[in-house]
Chain A
């Protein structure tokens, strides 16, 4: 079997005046699991796209087994034995596993007929060889996400990949699925395959890596070993020391603020994506809704924020019914909403930071009178919030679209927390943020909780849920499979995320 030793030497990639990759050196030995660790925007994906022939580098060279190669297209990379598993799967949902795997490389019989038997047999062979259990005849859209990912890996292996690139592979998986992915990766490495694993999640990186390369702002800033502590790795990644523990006082819940009873919400296709959910969020507590993405969390939040109609059941804030209310009525009832898709629902990118900071309160008496806006007051408010919330912007008049993702999120957090509200709903509030901003946003949420506000956090990041929650509600296919304490184990929550409750085990 031909093992692969991959070497990147001085890879540089620029976009205009912006240098996304600056002279990056990286060596992956055969049979090694090499982690590329870095924050969002550090240049990890750019580097992988250069390696996979999707971008051409402005400088540096790629060596495969000591021999320089040049990839003009991803096909060149595949032929040299490099396989990539994208973050968003590139599968045809209505095709079977076998059809997907052989797509583009179909084995044929006489008269160009596709040889399904050979394809299935090949897949079985690979499945057994690498411990990837997949039924070749199953239709992909019926498979859970974790299995779909295996299909992607199988596809790469069937194209004789010796080096696999896994781009943020755990983002869509339950803890159990992550466990089995790690097992698969270790098995592949043991059989001599090299793996480049891209992630910003410290836990997984430490669990799986043989070697760690940390990049920040397009440069290699250091290497690490899985034995390094999370704090050490995080501070290399961010460039300063970070505190991963969120400090908070004891759980001391007060009166109920947000009450959801027997809620049913349907999506555009008429499917009940929120199916008979009930829960209460009290003053002074964080209720976290955990679950794999796409199990109805988004629709639940939209229903509470007045952005989606309710089929049946009730939602009330401070005893005021707000099911099927307008977003304005929900805001006035005392709701602050940090939306899941901040650029779509939370900000107007072309408007200034100052305008975005009053986006949902332009008519508040301090900001307007007699139909005219008080721009001086709007600017004053912006100056204060930019300072208080440490929003990095060249000016409060700069369009909010010119800010980094983390600072855009801080604009929303600043706006929502500066209003005097009773309940804060935050959906995936730290997605795509750097460690520093995550730390900051988390502290703000805890401050709200300690100020006797009710916080409903929806997150698919278990670390975040454990760090902040006083109680954890787990959602699966539109229902709550359990409300548990944050002292529960990851395994027990993982089972709930997969829809396995104690009753169904009986």
Chain B
């Protein structure tokens, strides 16, 4: 357990040294989101027009306006609902990920999502190159160089990881649905199907995180050892994970808990702040952006502490 905390601490310090990199990743996320937020802003602005609904929505939530907006919504607009507020945003995304609902989103969102994944695959090379230095230091030139030099292999690893993800998300899910419908149609109560569904969701999430962890180590191997064979890297990463299960899983879930804690704090803050006037709206906007910054920071923390662990164990 000491190894876990030791490498978590070292990863924490390493991430702390490259705040500029985290800021850069945050700006990428922000700019990317703005590309879609602008048309959404225009849709909302047009819908409110000069109506009193705008004033009511500024003070609280006008359910009648929202129903009208929803009934007319097309494309991206269909994603606007009360469930994207606060905890709803987190839960919606978690459910979409686990239940693979991403592909039932509006097509523009799917295209942007896929593009962002690929972009992030590119950036991951830069992040890991930065953390591979003895004393991590962020310069844009080195970051982009690191990103570019590993991109093709990272892209290959991404596609390879999708094989497993699709297996879980597709085939396993189909099998599960068939089992669940069998159990559900013979059940006397909704309680049993509920717990089975919940257990499957938890299992899917754990497997997704496991795939992420294995491929994280595969990427670390590519960066640290200049490994060319992505299949070999993945296999060796898998061996590494199972060779040191307490350390690898322990570290992963420690960072995961850290992320959960950040998220819970955000939700609590979001729930108690009324967005009824400009200062509070601005305050919530800042909190939201700090939250996004924080989860990007935690993602970097995961990379850096995993890299520390890999080096430590090697």
Do A and B pair up? The answer is no
